[in-house]
Every structure is written in C-alpha cells, then in structure tokens.
Structure 1
C-alpha cells in the first residue's frame, strides 16, 4: 500500500493553532507568518474535504470533525516525538496529554485515591480524567484509555485488560424493608419499588441465577431510573426502593447497616473492571505507564501475574 506524500502536511500547524488559540500566536511559535499559517490550514481543510474550525476576527472554535481530527493528531504527533527521541537517544519520561474516561462510581471509589501518586510519579503527563457513566467510543471521543465495568465486554478491535472484578449486589435499607417486607425470591421484586440504572441495555430487566444454576429473568417497573450510581445509592439509603450495584460503588453502607443485601444465598453476577485502549503495535510511553500503574495499584492477584 502506497503512502500519500501529503498525509502529514499541515497537521503540526493545525494542532499548534488550536493549542495557541490564534493564528498569530501559532505563527510566533513556529516562526512563520500569519498568512502562511492560514494558507496551511486552508490547504489541510481542502485536502480533507471538511471544515475543521470556525474562525472570526476574535475567536476560533472547532467543528465536530475538527475536534476529532485534533484529538487524533495530538496522539500522532506525540508518537512521532517518542519515535524520534528513541532513535536519537533522548527517550525521557512519559509525557503529553493523556485522556482517560472512567465510570463515576469506580473513579471516585478506586481511581481517585491513587491519581495523586500517578501525577507525582509522572509530572510530564498532563492527565485529563472524565468521569462519565455513558458508553464511550474510545476512538471517536478521542480518549487514550477507557475504564469499563461490565459483565461482558463487546467484541471489538480494541485491546482490553482486566483490572479486577466485583460482585453485583441487590440492596435496600432496613427502613424500606420494615415498611415493605423483605423479598425472599427475585420474582417478588415485581411488588417492590425499584431504582434502576439507566445506562444498562435493559434497565428494567434484572438477571439472576438460582442455587441450581437456572437463569431467572425478572421484569420490573422502575419508580426511579437514573444514570448516576451515587444518586441511586443515596435514594436506597433514604428508603426509596431496591437497587442493584457493583460492590465497588459502595462506601461503608453495608458495614454501617445503612443498606442490607437481599438474596444472599443466590449466586452473585460478576462485574469485571477493564482497561480498554487502541490496538497499537507501538504503545506510547504515557499509555503504557498508566496501564502498568493502575494494574500495580488496583489489579487483583490474577491481573498482576
């Protein structure tokens, strides 16, 4: 396959314009004239066939296509710098912008306590962490690494590495159970107030397995549906219904008795926590350093083998 000789033309100039926030500052940084910078960006847009940015005399803003292209170009430029430094013997500390997406509950309970150690260890990495429970498209959304908590990862070309696993528990407060009774079997949940997590594919269908290994599917009417686990836990503690959540999302609610586990004799679904990142032959130092660090700090015994 032949490589287009113009493939990288304008890329560094475009990225510097966005980082600088203006054509004039980008010209000062690169040593070119403002008109040269403008022409390079125009040529780039013409070659790609899309408008990358909206520009007025005072402001610059990226189009959706420009945002995606900018994020991907940043990684390409950083990889090129890493390659050049490796060849000329100047490979130093991992550096550059590292964008990580993580579920809110896992980020607050597990990731947050170790991030200060990471930033202290790797001061040249600019860490951007987004806590969000929606499903992230790693490539389209421009992330280097996504942390996912799920019972089963979807097939993809991305690489995944399990950090740990957690049990999914069904919980309610003692006050709620005193007023509404404690269900002895998952089917009895149909008569209870349910708090559901909206980011699941089927929030109102809960899967169980009984002691004999038979699959149970319970269709529920949710009184509250939310995309935030912390809110759901707070509502459950306040006696507003029954909720299901990974154990890692809890703080001290079980130990303190604020919440009670239901169906303790039933097998508990296992939720795996995974690092997901692009399938690249040559992984950048910043991505490798984050993966190794998280596995070392949070990985269970199998992950650390």
Structure 2
C-alpha cells in the first residue's frame, strides 16, 4: 500500500526556531539572536512538540537537552533549514558563505599530526565556521551522534550507506625499541612473534591476528598473544618506546622515531600493510557549504 502524504500548511512552522534554540543552547540567547521574545520562542517550541506529538526537549532551570526523538528530529530539521538557506542564496545570485557548527571526528594521532595544521588554516579562510572536534580512536555513529564528517584510517573500509573519499595512503610497520630487542632478541620471521610480547590495537576486529606478505607475495597470518591491548595508538607508541613489546603502527602516527634510531623496523623484506585514510560523511545530496568547503580544503592540503 503506497503512502500519500496529506497537505499540511503548518509543516515547517517552528523548525527554524527549534534549530536556532539548539544551536544557541538557551531561550535567552536565541531571543537575542532572532529578535523575538523568550515567551514567543517558548510558545513556538510548545506548538512544535504538540504538532509532532513527542517531547523534543528536556528543560531545566539551567540547561536544555534533546530527547532521543529530539536528536533525530534536530538532524533532519538542520538539513532542511540549511537546504532552504542555500536555495535562497542561489535565488539571490549569491554564493553562500560557509557558516555554522561543523562537528568532526578524527583519530587522536592523525588529528595531531595531519589535521591540526590544516584545521588552523581552514579556520583562517572560513572564520564563520565553528569547529567541534572530537579526537578519539573509537568508531563513531555519524548520524546518531550528529557528526558532519569523520576521518577514518583502515586497511579496508566497511560497506555502508555513508559516502567515503580516500584522502591519503600510508603503510604500517612492525616496530620495537632497541632495549626490547637487546633483552628478548630480534624475531627473524613473523612466525617468531608468537614467542614475543606484543602490543595490539583493540579498535580493529581481530587485533590478535597479524597478516603478512613476503617478497614472493605469499600471505600468512600470525596469531599473537597480545601482552598489551589498547584502543590508543599514542599509548602503543609510548609503551613500545619504553621497551614493553612489539607493535604494528601506521607510519603517519610516527614522528621520526625510526629515523632517529629510537625504534627499529622489523621484517623489512616483507610487504608493508597498506593503510588508507578516508573522509566519511552521510550524504552528497543537499551538502551544506561548510561540509563541502571542509572536504575540498582537506583534499587540497593534505599530503602523504
């Protein structure tokens, strides 16, 4: 049975005020920004909740917070409002300037080593964009958590409805400190790792399975007994430098430790594991100018 929506002339009433309220975080600030009174804004929100039939906000005397239904509704309203703003700018023959909050998720080490200088330059070029950056090695849910863009480093990106764009390629090296190798010996082939202390990254599906490919193209999988399992690449490097074990690390997370002799690369004749870095975002359709400008800026400025 097909669904035929009924005409509702009040469908968009209150959406813009609702978006402004969430962006400003209080009735008072929203009143100042919009030129309306707090009582008017409160009435609009009450009417909106009555029309959609669910509570959108939890209100206390000190702060506002979105209900789960409110969070989902806000993301949809935000896209509708931004699309309407873009349409208006187009009709006026103007190029919309990127503006508003841009929420980004990025792994810690990658953010500090690669994104930080790019982000600083981006904010200089686009001063009206407010950045909310979460540096965290966990895999976020873009839609449910309201992220505009996530940066992900992986050997193989999982299939999903999200849009992805590869922006950088790197390699992963197996490394150990000179002190560790002096104490426990140097493994000659990957299979020797079963007798060594290893440090593994827990944010991948099978952290204890390390895959290798020799110079002849023959693949093998070594099941290591991780002495340390962590979700932080920063911690992996620190513990490896301290001589606590052998780890495998994308080279973009390193800062010259191999060249300085502080870490030793193992199995140099084996093929290095390929790592790709992606920008991931919900949709190409109705993309806001702030998201498009950030994607274009990163692609233009990032390098291997």
TM surpasses 0.5: yes
For the pair 1:189 / 2:176, whether they are aligned, the reply is no
Native 8 Å contact 1:72 1:142 kept in 2: no
Aligned counterpart, 1:254: 258
Query: Runs ≥4 in structure 1, deviation > 6 angstroms?
Result: none
SS of equivalent to 2:144: coil
Residue 169 to residue 48, structure 1, CA distance change in 2 (3 Å): farther
Question: Out of 111, 115, 137, which is 1:111 matched to?
Answer: 115
2:280 equivalent among 276, 279, 282? 276
- For 2:204 and 2:293, locate their aligned partners in 1 and report how far apart those are by CA, in whole Å: 31
**Cα distance in 1 for residues equivalent to 2:123 and 2:37:** 37
Q: Give the Cα separation in 1 of the matches to 2:279 and 2:176.
A: 31
The residue number in structure 1 matching 2:15 is: 11
User: What corresponds to 1:178 in structure 2?
Assistant: 182
Task: Please report how far the alpha carbon of residue 129 of structure 1 lies from its aligned counterpart in structure 2 after TM superposition.
Answer: 1.7
The 8 Å contact of residues 105 and 136 in structure 2, kept in 1 or not, is answered as: yes
Aligned residues: 300
Bigger shift: residues 231-240 or 97-106: 97-106
Q: Distance in 1 between matches of 2:218 and 2:50?
A: 60
Secondary structure of residue in 2 paired with 1:256: coil
- For residues 254 and 148 of structure 2, what CA distance do their matches in structure 1 show? 27
TM-superposed deviation, 1:232: 0.8
Query: Residues 227 and 124 from structure 1, CA distance in 2 versus in 1: closer, same or farther, beyond 3 angstroms?
Result: same
Unaligned regions of 5+ residues in structure 1, if any? Answer: 301-305
- Which of 53, 59, 65 is matched with 1:61 structurally? 65
Residue pair 2:79, 2:286 contacting (<8 A) in 1 also: no
Report deviation, 1:295: 1.0
Q: Please state how far the C-alpha of 1:223 moved relative to its aligned partner.
A: 1.5
Please state how far the C-alpha of 1:267 moved relative to its aligned partner. 0.8
What is residue 303 of structure 1 aligned with on the other side? none
The DSSP-based 3-state class of the residue aligned with 1:254 is coil
Q: Structure 1 residue 89 and structure 2 residue 73: aligned?
A: no
Distance 1:253 1:81, change over 3 A: same
Alignment pair present for 1:77 and 2:81: yes
Provide the TM-score with structure 2 as the length reference.
0.90
* Alignment TM-score, normalising by the size of structure 1: 0.90
5+ residue gaps, structure 2, are none
d(CA) in 2 for partners of 1:157, 1:58: 38
Report the alpha carbon displacement of residue 10 of structure 1 after superposing the two structures with TM.
Answer: 2.1
Distance 1:233-1:25 versus aligned 2 partners, 3 A rule? closer
Cα distance in 2 for partners of 1:199, 1:124 equals 34
1:121-177 per-residue CA deviation (whole Å, 9 max, x = no partner) reads 111211222111111222122111111111111112222111111101110001100
Task: Return the offset for 1:210.
Answer: 2.5
Q: Supply the distance in 1 between the matched residues of 2:138 and 2:194 (Cα, whole angstroms).
A: 27
Matches within 5 A, 1:1-305: 2=5, 5=8, 6-27=10-31, 29-299=33-303
> How big is the shift at 1:105?
1.2
Shift, 1:249, TM fit = 0.3
SS of equivalent to 2:247: strand
Q: Is the contact between residue 68 and residue 141 of structure 1 (CA under 8 Å) also seen in structure 2?
A: no
Q: Secondary structure of 1:97's match?
A: strand
